[in-house]
Amino acid sequence: MKGKRLVLILFIIIISIVIIFIGLFVYNNNEAKEIINRSQNYLRKTNDKYYLDPLIKEQNPHTVGWLKVEGTDIDYPVVQYSDNEYYLSHDFYDDRNSNGWVFLDSKSKLTDQNLIVYGQFNLDGSIFGTIDELMKVGTEKEKSTMNTKKKNKIIFITEDGYTEYTIFSAYIGTDYNDYLKRNFDNMNDSLKIFNERTEVPFGENINGVDHIITLSTINEKDNDRMVIQGYKRNN
């Protein structure tokens, strides 16, 4: 009898933990969606051109832009703080949230050659939870069609307008740190390395590129970082 009672108690404890986990999972996801719905009012589009209403800084003075990534659900205001830890555990309104938020590297400047943006890979699909969609490859036939048909864009929007970057590289960055440089000694050499590292054959011509953007997952308990990079060609 004692053995059965102990098993029953353990079963109830496990079920309770699962229910709590699912509840938090759903709550955090709904919170992210609610924040996005409220923030969307500050994202403007006129004549097919984006810009960010400066009044968004009344909601969060740390706001530096907005990030949209085609082929994913990434569509968030971007913040920047004095360190790269705070927004791992806080949302756009600075409330505690284990899903974190999308944030620019603490040392980055918008004029850098490499704009570095972080976000957690969340299982509920929020923040950078769908970034892996850009790393999926299928059959050899699908890979070959990617070269001409897959032209996913990364769009970074500020108060002054927006910049479109064409994705050219996607890989696991765990064993590298060169993609976290804000500026490069030799832009062409660095681009060649990133382009050769890609696990998805985007087939992009990266000649004449002056700026790139790097998106990287940055989970507290997971060292496997997914890296997506896009380029902007000289005007």
Report residue 168 as tokens: 């050219």
Q: What is the pLDDT of residue 174?
A: 82
Q: What is the DSSP string of the chain?
A: -HHHHHHHHHHHHHHHHHHHHHHHHHHHHHHHHHHHHHHGGGEEEETTEEEE-GGGGGT-TTEEEEEEETTSS-EEEEEE-SSSSGGGSB-TTS-B-TT---EE-TT--TTSSEEEEEE-B-TTS-BTTTGGGGG----HHHHHHHHHH---EEEEEETTEEEEEEEEEEEE-TT--GGG-SS-S-HHHHHHHHHHH-SS------TTEEEEEEEEE--TT----EEEEEEEE--
Q: What is the pLDDT of residue 40?
A: 73
Number of domain units in the chain: 1
Average pLDDT, the chain: 83
Residue 228 sits in a domain whose CATH number is: 2.40.260.10
Host domain of residue 118:
1-235
Q: What is the pLDDT of residue 7?
A: 59
Q: What is the pLDDT of residue 19?
A: 56
pLDDT tens-place values along the chain, 235 residues long:
555 666 566 656 666 565 555 555 555 556 666 766 777 778 888 887 888 988 999 999 999 999 999 999 999 999 999 999 999 999 999 999 888 999 999 999 999 999 999 999 988 888 999 999 998 754 344 444 444 345 689 999 998 889 999 999 999 988 889 999 999 999 999 999 999 999 998 888 888 898 999 999 986 555 679 999 999 976 5
